[in-house]
Amino acid sequence: KVMMEKVLWRRSMQLRDEQRSWQESRGGREMLEFRRSLPAYKEKDAVLSAISQNQVVIISGETGCGKTTQIPQFILETEIEAIRGAACNIICTQPRRISAMSVSERVAAERGEKLGESVGYKVRLEGVKGRDTHLLFCTTGILLRRLLVDRSLKGVSHVIVDEIHERGMNEDFLLIVLKDLLPRRPELKLILMSATLDAELFASYFGGSQIIHIPGFTYPVRTHFLEDILEMTGYRLTPYNQIDDYGQERMWKMSKQAPRKRKSQIASVVEDALKTADLKDYSLQTRESLSCWNPDSMGFNFIENLLCYICENEGPGAILVFMTGWDDISSLKDKLQAHPRLGDSTRVLLLACHGSMASSEQRLIFDEPEDGVRKIVLATNIAETSITINDVVFVLDCGKAKETSYDALNNTPCLLPSWISKVSSQQRRGRAGRVQPGECYHLYPRCVFDAFVEYQLPEILRTPLQSLCLQIKSLKLGSISEFLSRALQSPELLAVQNAIEYLKLIGALDENENLTVIGRYLTMLPVEPKLGKMLLIGAVLNCLDPVLTVVSGLSVRDPFLTPLDKKDLAEAAKSQFSRDYSDHLALIRAYEGWKNAERDYAGYDYCWKNFLSIQSMKAMDSLRKEFFSLLRDTGLVDANTTSNNEWSYDEHLIGAVICYGLYPGVCSIVNNGKSFSLKTMEDGQVLLYSNSVNSREAKIPFPWLIFNEKIKVNSVFLRDSTAVTDSALLLFGGSLSKGDSDGHLKMLGGYLEFFMKPAVADMYLCLRRELDDLIQD
């Protein structure tokens, strides 16, 4: 023990000396000066003394004030100066992988080090961490996985949970677990950081912890709502007075107008427009009524026009455009690149910023462009609080973000762009005032802003809880509903029950809510339970290779691109991969084709020609490897195997595996001469997304369609589907666990009866029992 302490002490001394000599170098001095200019620096002593006196400290401060990069460093530096550096272990969680990566890189640079020395990061699939890493940035998911195997976080001295204002599901879950852990680890410090001021909620949750607020400074930002922008760019707004051809709600129509109207008149045009759209009482507007105002329908022309206006009429400074998601960003980027002024790379540096971009791509965002070049960044809401782009002067805010919401009554997840909250809108505006007074253009009228909710609903209250419930069980945290009742804000009982029912239905939990064998395996795989099930059965049935492709394809952004202006071409390209009425099999063929092309160094051309995303293909490639090695760890794949088992192409077998995973995602196909229709038990008639290969078929000669996901927009739409036979559904749909299979067999029988085929039911149920026994063995 004495030897150990000596080694630690010596290493701590070294760490201190290295850091001191960096701070005395020229680069180090400049960096220190920059760091001292940040608002967080002024609160350094207050923060450190609060941490030493309390187990839980909550720090709030405006985005960019230095919470993420400075606070963990303050702790590390204090420990290093006190010659305890080698013994401290700080974990700082980030809600997104891209911020974990960019922040760790930045902090290492501030310390004059390379990543992997005292600072490292770990996200799924990637990480840099060395023997001397004492400050680790990771995603919240990574810390939760660690808790699976290391319940008391041995050796960790500080846990910092960043961006808690976002109220993601993982963060809320982590807080319950940490709250239980704190009394057992009295020397462990917990620091929560938030970009908004709602610290009281967290403080009372942890029973009165100290709150520190870092006062920030931003330059004033001038706010323009749609009314003002229209005037500047010479547009006017007129309402459609009737329901349009598609039976949609009323939208507004924009038209270029020759003589500009005066500002007050424009404002009244917008007001009129809103009034005629039945928004009778402004003060009583609800979020629902806002769905009538649709910035998306203004199209990209409007944004393009506004960007031109800024480039031509305003001073220098980067422009940050908030969009709803990756697809919008990429279509707008394509459009702007074709524009004579904005696409001219000697004058404009056009960049995208979203959660799934590569690290090399993201570094460009922070670089300052050459003189005379205007930087334009198209971003999702990750640029709202977690990533700070320094030189932004102009912000365009479309007012929406894609969020998953969950309708517990229909048990259907919806992924729709929805209105952001007032707090988000203000955050977006604040991004413009970091280096000088800025301008923010909200692409919606003021009265729409007035109707925004104050805060966003926490994710735990609006998404399905299946993975969360499995995690609770595998961490042996007791009854699911009891555990969740201890959350900061507990989800509805109905949502919890739905999740538990689903897990029972797929055989992950038994009647008493205990993990089954399958459930235990599922918690080892970091994918949705349904995808995990596919991997398991793929391994068991020796057809893992194609299954790895399907599962990784469903875990990344859709590899089949459908640019709006080339929709037909793209869909035709996808349908070449289709032979057996299956999007999943099309995916396998597309991937195989890409692998072959890669061998001849023609992967890029291949993707371009076939409307495939090369990033998705590469991501699939690395996910396949990761899943394979995880499966080897579970022992289901022979540990000595180095490659996935050889694939003999058997589309029926693959269909069965898909059915095993995606059940109860099943609908019946009713072929009627020229066309077919689809029905599920819960929703009645459902439709296919137009990019499904099955939507191009006139007829599907199978009775069932297994689908990956259904999404409620106006009607219920199915994404990614595979047609299967009766036998596949009957033998592979539902749970294969022995103890409770009777219940599920009844349910399967119910499906049969529902679709009027009782005659064969008994025979299949018999077969099914035998197969269950076989697989269980």
- Residues lying near ligand ADP in the complex (CB under 6 A) are found at 38, 61, 63-70, 102, 106, 366, 388, 390
Per the CB < 8 A criterion, the answer to whether 181 and 496 are in contact is no
Smallest gap from residue 253 Cβ to ligand ADP (A): 40
Looking at beta carbons only, is 192 or 662 nearer to ligand ADP?
192
Query: Which of ligand ADP, Mg ion, none sits in contact with 65, Cβ below 5 to 8 A by type?
Result: ligand ADP
Using CB atoms within 10 Å of the CB of residue 401, give its burial: 0 to 12 exposed, 13 to 18 middle, 19+ buried: buried
Query: Which of Mg ion, ligand ADP, none sits in contact with 715, Cβ below 5 to 8 A by type?
Result: none
Looking at beta carbons only, is 34 or 754 nearer to ligand ADP?
34
Closest CA to 439 of 449, 429, 425, 453: 429
What are the start-end ranges of the H helices in 84-198? 97-110, 140-149, 169-181
Per the CB < 8 A criterion, the answer to whether 112 and 27 are in contact is yes
Smallest gap from residue 317 Cβ to ligand ADP (A): 15
Query: Which of Mg ion, ligand ADP, none sits in contact with 324, Cβ below 5 to 8 A by type?
Result: none
Looking at beta carbons only, is 159 or 270 nearer to Mg ion?
159
Query: Which of Mg ion, ligand ADP, none sits in contact with 566, Cβ below 5 to 8 A by type?
Result: none
CA separation, residue 127 to residues 94, 116, 122 (Å)? 14, 9, 4
Smallest gap from residue 366 Cβ to ligand ADP (A): 4
Query: Which of Mg ion, ligand ADP, none sits in contact with 66, Cβ below 5 to 8 A by type?
Result: ligand ADP
Query: Which of Mg ion, ligand ADP, none sits in contact with 295, Cβ below 5 to 8 A by type?
Result: none
Cα separation, 566 vs 586, in Å, equals 20
* Contacts with Mg ion, 30-69, as mask; x by CB under 5 A: -------------------------------------xx-
Smallest gap from residue 98 Cβ to ligand ADP (A): 11
Looking at beta carbons only, is 102 or 523 nearer to ligand ADP?
102
Separation of CA 528 from chain center: 13
Cα separation, 369 vs 373, in Å, equals 6
Looking at beta carbons only, is 68 or 381 nearer to ligand ADP?
68
Q: Which amino acid is at 488?
A: L
Smallest gap from residue 388 Cβ to Mg ion (A): 7
Residue 159: strand pairing partners: 91, 190
Cα separation, 95 vs 483, in Å, equals 22
Assigned token pair, 465: 């809880």
Residues present in the chain in total:
777
Binding positions for Mg ion, 450-479, rule CB under 5 A: none
Closest CA to 101 of 402, 391, 386, 352: 386
- Sign, Cα dihedral of 400, 403, 408, 411: positive
Query: Which of ligand ADP, Mg ion, none sits in contact with 38, Cβ below 5 to 8 A by type?
Result: ligand ADP
Half-sphere exposure of 418 (CA within 13 A, CB side): 18
Query: Which of ligand ADP, Mg ion, none sits in contact with 64, Cβ below 5 to 8 A by type?
Result: ligand ADP
Residue in the shown chain whose Cβ atom is closest to Mg ion:
68
Looking at beta carbons only, is 102 or 610 nearer to ligand ADP?
102
Per the CB < 8 A criterion, the answer to whether 91 and 138 are in contact is yes
Query: Which of ligand ADP, Mg ion, none sits in contact with 430, Cβ below 5 to 8 A by type?
Result: none
Looking at beta carbons only, is 61 or 464 nearer to ligand ADP?
61
Smallest gap from residue 436 Cβ to ligand ADP (A): 14
DSSP-assigned letter for residue 642:
-
Query: Which of Mg ion, ligand ADP, none sits in contact with 22, Cβ below 5 to 8 A by type?
Result: none
Cα separation, 387 vs 132, in Å, equals 27
Residue with tokens 């990429």: 330
Smallest gap from residue 95 Cβ to Mg ion (A): 10
Smallest gap from residue 520 Cβ to Mg ion (A): 36
Looking at beta carbons only, is 193 or 731 nearer to Mg ion?
193
Query: Which of Mg ion, ligand ADP, none sits in contact with 138, Cβ below 5 to 8 A by type?
Result: none
Contact partners, residue 729, CB within 8 Å, separation at least 6: 659, 663, 666, 703, 704, 706, 748, 751
Smallest gap from residue 51 Cβ to ligand ADP (A): 17
Half-sphere exposure of 3 (CA within 13 A, CB side): 0
Smallest gap from residue 405 Cβ to Mg ion (A): 26
Looking at beta carbons only, is 427 or 498 nearer to ligand ADP?
427
Cα separation, 292 vs 306, in Å, equals 23
Smallest gap from residue 29 Cβ to ligand ADP (A): 17
* Contacts with Mg ion, 668-697, as mask; x by CB under 5 A: ------------------------------
Farthest CA pair distance, the chain: 85
3-state secondary structure 360-373: HHHHHHHCCCCCCC
Looking at beta carbons only, is 34 or 604 nearer to ligand ADP?
34
Smallest gap from residue 404 Cβ to ligand ADP (A): 25
Smallest gap from residue 7 Cβ to ligand ADP (A): 33
Looking at beta carbons only, is 116 or 343 nearer to ligand ADP?
116
Could you tell me how many residues of this chain bind Mg ion (CB under 5 A)?
Answer: 2
Q: Burial code of 669-707, b = ≥16 C-beta within 10 A, e = fewer?
A: beeeeeebebbbeebeebbbbebbbbbebeebebbbbbb
- Sign, Cα dihedral of 57, 62, 66, 69: positive
* Contacts with Mg ion, 68-97, as mask; x by CB under 5 A: x-----------------------------
* Contacts with Mg ion, 194-213, as mask; x by CB under 5 A: --------------------
Smallest gap from residue 69 Cβ to ligand ADP (A): 3
Per the CB < 8 A criterion, the answer to whether 523 and 474 are in contact is yes
Looking at beta carbons only, is 366 or 455 nearer to ligand ADP?
366
Looking at beta carbons only, is 67 or 442 nearer to Mg ion?
67
Q: Evaluate the omega torsion of the peptide bond into residue 664 and state whether it is cis, within 30 degrees of 0.
A: yes
Looking at beta carbons only, is 37 or 675 nearer to ligand ADP?
37
Q: Which residues bind Mg ion (CB under 5 A)?
A: 67-68
